[in-house]
Chains A and B, each alone.
Chain A
Amino acid sequence: MTGRKTLRTDVAVVGGGIVGASAALALRKMGIGVVLLERDLCGSRSSGVNYGGVRRQGRPVSQLPLAQRAHRIWGNLRETIGTDGEYLRSGHFKIARSEADMASLEQYRTKSRDFDLGLELISAARLRERCPWLGTRAVGGSLCAEDGQANPRLVSPAFALAAQRAGAQIFERHKVDEVAHDGKGFLLRSGNALEVRAPALLNCAGAWSGPIAEYFGEAVPLRSSHPVMAVTEPVPHFMDWSLGVEGGGIYCRQVARGNLVLGGGRGIALDADRARADRDAIATLAAQAVELLPTLRHAHFIRTWSGTEGNLPDHQPVLGPSRTTPGLFHGFGFSGAGFQIGPAAGEVLAELVRDGRSSTPIESFSIERFFAAAATAEDAAADKTPTPTSP
């Protein structure tokens, strides 16, 4: 006597973050059937609580094709999801605090030259003139005028709503607690409420993607991380750029209402699902904030928070087909930087489903990289003939 509903569809998606939701939207635009299951509310996890930095600058070069693709999607955000989500190409400025930092920003500009990021190096003197509000530790920096910021609370749920309007069936508060493959297709269950059968499955469960990959024999070293965020009360508007710092540590932006949103440091996990800012991290963030922007000295923090993000050791996502199970595609482990590229990752997943390949290079994100060493060892064991060692 179960009231369990069974649905058959083309693609089942686990996770309604920005990756899963944008995949669902892209699939629908291709006319492919989608059922998305989200344990909580779409866009309520990492995708909805992050800092809101929409930046390409500073990403590993291997991510830049994806980031460029995402940049175009962000440029059409309103048409794509029906809201501007407070997205602004306000400029992202990466601060150098030493000549060595400046040199590494210069190197990055050279490395990324093929990608047309339009990076502009700004020297100390010009910086003082242009941003009198910057603290004295900044000796210069690199501006990416077309990078910017958005409000994740608004953008990420809107991707899910757009997917729904485009015909995706979205089930919020439906946790997937069983996945299986019966030889023909995938089978997902959410308690006694829902069963979904589909020939393709997207694993977009964020920090919780590990067990799904593992079920299909692909255990990867996915760890949770908890970046700390804080926001001040509104202060008079003084800054357009979203700021970062070469070498990391702190980032901040000012929203239209005047509040400063700041991030930096690591929070604490309350349990597997929830995290919170940590007192020492708040203290460090506060000290750095005042150093970076002395005008903040008299401002108040009104709220702090954190989130749960999936991190991989090389800080690159897993994005691509499963190595064990045809029809299964992974998109997780964005390691603190998936908000900007999330929409492109979603499109790539949709292409993989439809075409078996993506028009954007994603080799660096293959799950194979975690098994390459093991595979080589297996090969070597199977094949006793001595292999020449490469230099």
Chain B
Amino acid sequence: MTAPSSSSPLRPVIVGAGPAGVRAAEALVAHGIRPVVIDEASRAGGQIYRRPPSSLAARSANVLYGFEARRADAVHTAFDALRERIDYRPDSLVWNAQGGRLDVLHGPTRSTSSVPYSQLIVATGATDRVLPVPGWTLPGVYTLGGAQVALKFQGCAIGQRVVFMGTGPLLYLVAYQYAKAGAKVAAVLDTSRFADQLAATPAMLRQPAVFAKGVYYVAWLRAHGVALHGGVRPLRVLGDAAESRVAGVAWHDGREERTLACDAVGFGYALRSETQLADLLGCRFEFASLHRAHLPVRDAAGRSSVRGVYLAGDGAGIMGADAAEWAGERAALALLADGGVAVDTARAAMLERRLHKLGTFRQGLERAFPVPHDWAAHAPDELVVCRCENITAGTLRQTVAENGADEMNRLKALSRVGMGRCQGRMCGVAAAEILAHATGQPVQQVGRLRGQAPIKPIPIHLATPAPSTEGAGA
């Protein structure tokens, strides 16, 4: 393989050490390049293959990742093998991008640096897609991802008697993981109907192994007496007498209202991409109906609209962990080729074909677990949509009615939704649904919140970047 010419040294930076970032780094290293890999987490693996802190490392991969153990192992092993050949910066949050440099906050030393890049692979992954329900701010309510992180990372369950609610493949997976770990799963409440899943079966069979896993989780949960309800409409999370903790959930099953006691709730509606960095980098966004979201556009190889910036993994559209690995490698090959390095074009084409094929499967998933499109219609006025700023659905509707807000940034300006610490990362999806419903527009028309630095809050006294750290750690 050809090394890059020394006259144009490639100094690529990868943001994110999940499956996409790890495979991208591996491909770069294989071509003689030493990339910088920056990740907010303290250990590589990303969301799905998140590794517990070393103090908890006694649990086996099998316990932690189940069916994913082999893949998790593979990603971790690949990363560990790269460790000496990359400039790895864990615990490092990229909070800003400007003029060919990233501003990075290193948590443990509480220091900042400015990291230059010649090319950038953005592999920032995803977080839960949240559509709140009254009572969701009670202690004891977690997102599905949060519930899973507690289990994988902290080695604890969110409660003794847990209800999982929402939709998406993660719903059954997390319920299964909890039940296997010995927690009592009181019920799984799925807003999609089992008929949806049946109708989607042909498309989902494009990934028979993944499909089989899903079927297995459901069957396992049933066999172990976990109540599974489809086609539900969550009504509210019930609090105890003092409203100080979760005491149960109420939902509508199509015929009547039902309730169930529990001491914790995990909920979520699949995932949403972390796109702020791509936004700050100036990438062009478009509405992707498959993902029901505005996403940075990329070509089949992962090139964004900005020269030298590549997008891979869930951060550019939720496609799952396997796709993230392929997309990471593919983006790295594109980066190399664009930088004049000879790459295996057959391999690149094969990765593209795999990614392309996955599209059908993804459509199947959407069909099996559709976002409840009528969520906004049923969200009561008093429902808190934005918990940083305590903005309710009613306030949003009133802002539309009285001030004519018909676009997300205007809604934000007038109501403060998305103005808090999370900058709309959590509430943005729900606010867009409410706005679309209240104005009678399709959700793609209401636009998206424009990204602003910092990507996550930064301590004021750390906003001063240290002198350039070019080459540091190399």
Contact = CB atoms under 8 A, between A and B. Distances in A.
A302 B457 contact: yes
Contacts of A287: 464
Interface string A374-390: 00000000000000000
B459 interface: yes
B403 A300 contact: no
Contacts of A41: 407, 410
A298 interface: yes
Contact of B461 (A270, A279, A286): A286
A48 B413 contact: yes
B240 to A, nearest CB: 28
A300 B459 contact: yes
Nearest to A262: B460
A289 B459 CA distance: 12
Contacts of A285: 463
Nearest to A287: B464
A270 B282 contact: yes
A300 B421 CA distance: 9
A279 B460 contact: no
A278 B7 CA distance: 31
A282 B453 contact: yes
A304 B413 CA distance: 14
Contacts of A299: 459-460
A41 B410 CA distance: 8
Nearest to A289: B460
Given A277-B453, A282-B453, A283-B465, A44 B413 contact: yes
Nearest to B101: A279
Interface in B382-417: 389, 403-404, 407, 409-410, 413-414
A290 interface: yes
Interface in A294-310: 296-305
Contacts of A233: 420-421, 457
A300 B455 CA distance: 12
Interface string A263-297: 00000101000001111001101110110000011
Contacts of B167: none
Contacts of B419: 303
B460 A283 contact: no
Given A276-B453, A301-B458, A302-B454, A268 B98 contact: yes
A303 B423 contact: yes
Interface string A242-261: 00000000000000010000
B420 A298 contact: no
Nearest to B419: A303
Interface string B88-107: 00000000101101010000
Interface in B403-454: 403-404, 407, 409-410, 413-414, 419-421, 423, 452-454
Interface stretch (A89-97, A153-161, A331-339): A153-161
A63 interface: no
Nearest to A285: B463
B278 to A, nearest CB: 15
A286 B98 contact: no
B461 A297 contact: yes
A157 B414 contact: yes
B337 to A, nearest CB: 29
A360 interface: no
A169 interface: no
Contact of A302 (B403, B413, B423): B423
Contact of A279 (B389, B423, B459, B465): B465
B273 interface: no
Question: Could you say which interface size class chain B belongs to?
Answer: 20 to 34
Contacts of B420: 233, 302
A358 interface: no
Contacts of A80: none
A232 interface: yes
Contacts of A276: 98, 452-453
Given A304-B452, A304-B454, A153 B413 contact: yes
Contact of B454 (A161, A278, A298, A301): A301
B98 A161 contact: no
A159 B459 CA distance: 36
Contacts of A158: 403
Contact of A282 (B409, B413, B423, B463): B463
Contacts of B282: 270
Contacts of B114: 279
Contacts of B403: 157-158, 161
Contact of B452 (A232, A279, A305): A305
Contact of B421 (A282, A290, A296, A302): A302
Contacts of A153: 413-414
Contacts of B410: 41, 44, 157
Nearest to A306: B452
B364 to A, nearest CB: 38
Contacts of B414: 153-154, 157
Nearest to B390: A257
B216 to A, nearest CB: 43
A298 B463 CA distance: 12
Contacts of A282: 96, 453, 463
A158 B410 CA distance: 12
Contacts of B389: 257
A48 B459 CA distance: 26
Contacts of A296: 460
Interface in A138-163: 153-154, 157-158, 161
5 contacts: A154-B414, A257-B389, A270-B282, A277-B453, A279-B465
Given A153-B414, A276-B452, A279-B453, 10 more contacts: A44-B409, A154-B413, A157-B414, A257-B389, A268-B99, A282-B96, A285-B463, A287-B464, A296-B460, A300-B421
Interface of A: 41, 44, 48, 153-154, 157-158, 161, 232-233, 257, 268, 270, 276-279, 282-283, 285-287, 289-290, 296-305
